Structure 1
Amino acid sequence: MTPSEPAPPVPDLPVPVSAWADGEIGERTRRTRRRLLLAAATVFDTHGYSGAALSDILAVAGLTKGALYFHFRSKQALAEALLVEVCDSWLLLVEEIGRLGVDPMWQLLLETDAYVARWMYDPLVRGISRAISEPDLREHRLAWLAGWEHATADRLRGAEAAGLLAAGVDPVRAARAVVAVASGNYSVADGPDDLWTRMSESWEGLVPIMTAPAWAAAWRASGWQDRPRPDAERYRASREP
């Protein structure tokens, strides 16, 4: 799409039929592992990482210590596996968005919506997000944010190459701003609905100053502001073991 062309209608956020990324292990092993990770995420989200006890995780999972130690040696190993799963399943969602064939700026908007929607309703993302906010797992949080900034900068470089960014906008600095705004909104939001509203309002401020005037005008006319909110049940159901 060139800056003078109208933006396409806003597509629905794609949610994979299964948000898990563990298809190459046996069915029984997969189900047990999923139950443990889902239970760990639930307990992390409720009690934080430091406040989470393995006994609580086992109680939520309905499994024995033997099942736990067959898969994970410690609470930290659980958290690290949870983070890997969240990152790998994110790539599945990015692939889904990529297949929509929209321009890099629209792809960034959709990916950010998907990121926020997972923060809102994906139990694994909610759990690991709270866990890595604590000092014990700080290095993982820094790596998470750095990866997000890098991916956002790549989208903005693509938008720049397509002539979609405003003159003088630096993709790296703009990416830092996007990630800072999104993570800040996550930190202060009063629940999922407030997070969605805050991020939408943030984009309404950022898009007009980040993008070329013609693209911003087409975006405003696209109906993006009235796009449907994420379907909470679809995100939860995608994590059923």
Structure 2
Amino acid sequence: MTSPGSAPPASFDVPVSAWADAEGRERTRRTRRRLLRAAADAFDARGYRGAALSDILAGADLTKGALYFHFSSKQALADALMTEVCDSWELVREEIGRWGVDPVWRLLLETDAYVARWMYDPLVRGISRAISEPDLREQRLAWVTGWECATADRLRDAEAAGLLAERVDPDRAARAVVAVASGCHTIADGPDDLWTRMSESWEGLVPILTGPAWQARWATSGWRDRPRPDPARYRTAREP
């Protein structure tokens, strides 16, 4: 018998990014954050290959000495940016995990948070464009693989709780969810269109992936009227 799962979350307003770096000295931390933010902005505007170190220094308003004290190269900057983006994502996931919702709700909330970061978190926007280039192919593969594995974990938990439709394979479904979200990101005409496209995609995916009882709760949950992400919150959260 299919369980309906837990009640929908009290709020669909997902957590925004927060810096995850562990550097304790304020001056060092601020300088490093300024460099990462400037690198992300340069990658977002010009791509990884097109972004010069001079662009990053100008954006950070720092000297070459400050840059090379923290990072040996543009590649090192990209690696550190990827680490920060992944670590800060774990903070978002952990906060959503504390809300105590069932695995399907958690998957929808995590995907909303993922998409919102794509839309407005300057660090995520920068590294996303950077890893789309051949120079950072390994980072892109790691990014996609990690996302697929996390999505499959949620779907396996949902299967164990009796929330999935019959004959849904969590691994195959996870690849489909990631492919759909990535496709929406590729073809979207700006952040608002991305949010709309992914929301419409879930309206097609949820009836395929979940059982009737969970769908009934979802249909009356208010999910379709959930708030769109606030761009200002994401920009403010990434101030050095």
Would you call these one fold, judging by a TM-score over 0.5?
yes
Question: 1:19-38 to 2 correspondence within 5 Å?
Answer: 19-38=18-37
User: Within the alignment, does 1:141 sit opposite 2:140 as a pair?
Assistant: yes
TM-score, with length taken from structure 1: 0.96
Matched-pair contact (CA < 8 Å) for 1:41–1:126? yes
Opposite residue 227 of structure 1, the aligned amino acid is R
Which residue of the partner structure matches residue 15 of structure 1? 15
Structure 1 residue 5: Cα displacement? 5.9
Which residue of the partner structure matches residue 61 of structure 1? 60
Matched-pair contact (CA < 8 Å) for 1:39–1:58? yes
TM-score, with length taken from structure 2: 0.96
| CA separation of 1:74 and 1:227: change in aligned 2, threshold 3 A | same
Paired positions, count: 239
Aligned counterparts of 1:166 and 1:69: Cα–Cα separation in 2:
54
Question: 1:1-241 to 2 correspondence within 5 Å?
Answer: 3-4=3-4, 7-9=7-9, 11-15=11-15, 19-241=18-240
Opposite residue 82 of structure 2, the aligned amino acid is L
Opposite residue 220 of structure 2, the aligned amino acid is A
Q: Secondary structure at the match of 1:206?
A: helix
Unaligned runs of 5+ in 1: none
Q: Secondary structure at the match of 2:62?
A: coil
Opposite residue 230 of structure 1, the aligned amino acid is P
Aligned counterparts of 1:60 and 1:39: Cα–Cα separation in 2:
5
Q: Provide the identity percentage.
A: 77
Aligned counterparts of 2:236 and 2:140: Cα–Cα separation in 1:
26
Aligned counterparts of 1:99 and 1:85: Cα–Cα separation in 2:
22
| CA separation of 1:183 and 1:5: change in aligned 2, threshold 3 A | closer
Structure 1 residue 9: Cα displacement? 4.7
Aligned counterparts of 1:9 and 1:91: Cα–Cα separation in 2:
19
Q: Secondary structure at the match of 2:49?
A: coil
Q: Secondary structure at the match of 1:50?
A: helix
Opposite residue 40 of structure 1, the aligned amino acid is A
- Provide the aligned C-alpha RMSD in A: 1.3
Q: Secondary structure at the match of 1:228?
A: coil
Q: Secondary structure at the match of 1:115?
A: helix
Aligned counterparts of 1:137 and 1:10: Cα–Cα separation in 2:
39
Matched-pair contact (CA < 8 Å) for 1:10–1:222? no
Opposite residue 13 of structure 1, the aligned amino acid is D
Moved over 3 A (4+): 4-7
Aligned counterparts of 2:130 and 2:11: Cα–Cα separation in 1:
32
Matched-pair contact (CA < 8 Å) for 1:208–1:216? yes
Q: Deviations over 1:27-60 (max 9, x none)?
A: 1110000000000000000000000000010000
Aligned counterparts of 2:33 and 2:14: Cα–Cα separation in 1:
22
Matched-pair contact (CA < 8 Å) for 1:43–1:127? yes
